[in-house]
Amino acid sequence: MRERDDDLSQCVEECEIAVTVNGNRHEHTVPVRLLLSDFLRHELHLTGTHVGCEQGVCGCCTVLFNGEAVRACLMFAVQADGMAITTIEGMAGVNSELHPIQQAFREKHGLQCGFCTPGIIMSVHAMLHEHPDPTEEEIRHELSGNLCRCTGYQNIVEAVKLAAERLRLQHMEVE
Partner 1 sequence: MKPPRFRYCSPRILDEALVLLDQYGEEIKILAGGQSFVPLLNMRLAAPAYIVDINHISELHYFETEPDYLAIGAIARQRQVERSVLVQEKHPLLVEVIKHIGHMQIRNRGTVVGSIAHADPAAELPALLTCLDGEVLAQSMHGERVIKAKDFFAGYLSTTLEAGELLTEVRFPWLARQAGWSFIEFARRAGDYALVGAMAVLTPALDDTCMSANIAYFGVAGSPIRARAVEQVLIGTQLDAHTLDAAAGAARDVVGEDMQDVHATVEYRRELASELTRRVLKQAWARREQLEGAQ
The residue range among 57-65, 86-94, 149-157, 162-170 that interacts with partner 1, by the rule CB under 8 A, is 57-65
Among 1, 2, 5, 13, indicate the residue that binds partner 1 (CB under 8 A). Answer: 13
The residue range among 33-41, 105-113, 152-160, 166-174 that interacts with partner 1, by the rule CB under 8 A, is 33-41
Hey, which residues does 35 pair with through a beta bridge? Answer: 76
Report whether 34 contacts 59 (CB < 8 A): no
Half-sphere exposure of 165 (CA within 13 A, CB side): 10
Cβ-based burial of 21 (10 A; exposed 0-12, middle 13-18, buried ≥19) = buried
- Quick check: helix, strand or coil at residue 96? coil
Report the relative pairing of strands 14-21 and 84-86 from DSSP bridges: parallel
Which C-beta is closer to partner 1: that of 61 or that of 111? 61
Pattern 69-88, partner 1, x by CB under 8 A: xxx-xxxx-xx---------
With binding defined as CB under 8 A, does residue 128 bind partner 1?
A: no
Query: Can you give the binding site for partner 1, defined by CB under 8 A?
Result: 4, 7-8, 10-13, 15, 31-33, 35, 38, 53-56, 59, 62, 65, 68-71, 73-76, 78-79, 123, 126-127, 141-142, 144-145
